[in-house]
């Protein structure tokens, strides 16, 4: 059974600092997704990672995938308040390509 | 206009009542999903449908039923609501196609359901 773990669950950071969110999963997959959710809002797709070594960047966010380690990272560079949100990773698995979501990381960027 | 819409957006109901949540999409996708979100638990899959004639249970289907009325419409019903079904419910769609395709899902705005 595919399990997905994110850490940390909560991250408070100062503006201008760098940090990384980790997403570990339990069975083989080379399809991983990152989503952002603002409070009370829907999930917005951020990155789609489709192979070992894949790296995607958008603004201050960069996501990478290591399928051998079953690990994806979401790196935040020089955080700004607008990045405050909950970030979810989701791993695609099984014959039906279902997504299994991590529990989310609540990011709070303080001025 | 939003590609995936959900109605109602908010609903308060009482224990034992029947309630239906509706989802419509204009993306032309065949696959549709219902999830519930609870604090600290992420999103959990309730039901999913790969086409009008295909309905499948997810990891937490007990107490729920669904209907796929058309390619564009997928409804979730709670036959007899109970308080622990209080949650945020999301509908999603996807359309993986061809060799090497992937299953990126697109989410509706959510329905906040409170069962008293």
Q: Give the C-alpha separation, A75 to A60, whole Å.
A: 8
Question: What percent helix, strand, coil does chain B show, rounded to 5?
Answer: 5, 55, 40
- pLDDT averaged per 10 residues, chain A (length 111): 92 94 92 94 94 93 96 96 96 84 94 85
A contacts of B107 (beta carbons < 8 Å): 35, 42-44
Per-residue pLDDT at B1: 61
Q: Give the C-alpha separation, B6 to A98, whole Å.
A: 21
A contacts of B48 (beta carbons < 8 Å): 96, 98
Strands B31-38 and A85-93: unpaired
Q: For the segment B53-97, what is each residue's pLDDT rounded down to a tens digit?
A: 999 999 999 999 999 999 999 999 999 999 999 999 999 999 876
Per-residue pLDDT at B112: 96
Q: Up-side HSE of residue B98: CA atoms within 13 Å toward CB?
A: 0
Eight-state DSSP code of residue B85: G
Q: Among residues B37, B29, B36, which one has the least CA distance to residue B93?
A: B29
Say if A106 is an interface residue toward chain B (CB within 8 Å).
no
Q: What is the DSSP string of B47-74?
A: EEEEETTEEEE-TT-TT-EEEEEETTEE
Residue among B43, B55, B61 with most chain A CBs within 10 A, to mutate: B43
Contact check, Cβ <8 Å, B42/A101: yes
Nearest to B102 among A42, A48, A96 (CB): A48
């Amino acid at each position: 059974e595919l399990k997905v773990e994110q850490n940390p669950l909560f991250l408070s950071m100062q503006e201008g600092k760098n940090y990384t969110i980790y997403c570990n999963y339990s069975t083989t997959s080379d399809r991983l997704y990152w989503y952002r959710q603002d409070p009370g809002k829907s999930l917005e797709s951020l990155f789609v990672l489709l192979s070992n070594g894949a790296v995607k960047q958008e603004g201050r966010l960069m996501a990478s995938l290591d399928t051998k380690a079953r690990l994806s990272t979401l790196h935040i560079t020089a955080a700004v308040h607008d990045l405050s949100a909950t970030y979810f990773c989701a791993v695609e698995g099984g014959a039906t390509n279902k997504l299994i979501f991590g529990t989310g990381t609540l990011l709070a960027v303080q001025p | 206009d939003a590609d995936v819409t959900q109605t109602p957006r908010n609903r308060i109901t009482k224990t034992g009542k029947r309630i239906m949540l509706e989802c419509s999409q204009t993306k032309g996708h065949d696959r549709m999903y219902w999830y519930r979100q609870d604090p600290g638990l992420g999103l959990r899959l309730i039901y999913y449908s790969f086409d009008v004639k295909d309905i499948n249970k997810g990891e937490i289907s007990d107490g729920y039923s669904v209907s796929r009325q058309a390619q564009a419409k997928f409804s979730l019903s709670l036959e007899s609501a109970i308080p622990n079904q209080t949650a945020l419910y999301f509908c999603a769609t996807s359309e993986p196609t061809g060799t090497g395709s992937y299953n990126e899902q697109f989410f509706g705005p959510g329905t906040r359901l409170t069962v008293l």
